[in-house]
Amino acid sequence: MKTKTQVWIEICRLEDIPPQGARVIRATLGCVALFRTATDKVFALEDRCPHKGGPLSQGIVHETGVTCPMHNWVIDLETGRAKAPDEGRVRTFPVEVRDGTVLIDRALLA
Ligand code: FES
């Protein structure tokens, strides 16, 4: 079976994403939010809350979670899962930070 080769492309500098904030990019599948934690980890998630579609990029980032601005569900940035007692999941995407540059899989923008 043929496996897809991941091709990384530069999307922005780490400092282009506010600490404990987010930046949104438009991908083929919709808006993707790039979140930056206080420890400069970066995560890429679909910018659509699994509850009622709220913009997660407008939420509050704390440790490795984001609180949705609409009804305060907490979404785990690593897994995309809503924290209990809430249930649901948002898509997550591969992202890397190399030498202060944020890279995503080119397939997201193809
Ligand atoms: S839309 Fe996100 S908590 Fe309701």
What integer is the mean pLDDT of 72-101? 97
Instruction: Answer whether 32 contacts ligand 1 (Cβ < 6 A).
Output: no
Between the CA of 77 and the centroid of ligand 1 the distance, in Å, is: 15
For the entire predicted model, the pTM comes to: 0.92
CA of 86, closest atom in ligand 1: 3
Q: Is 87 helix (H, G, I), strand (E, B) or coil?
A: coil
Query: pLDDT by residue (tens digit) across 25-43?
Result: 998 888 999 999 999 999 9
Query: pLDDT by residue (tens digit) across 51-60?
Result: 999 999 999 9
Q: Is 78 helix (H, G, I), strand (E, B) or coil?
A: coil
- Phi, psi (5° rounding) for residue 2? -85, 130
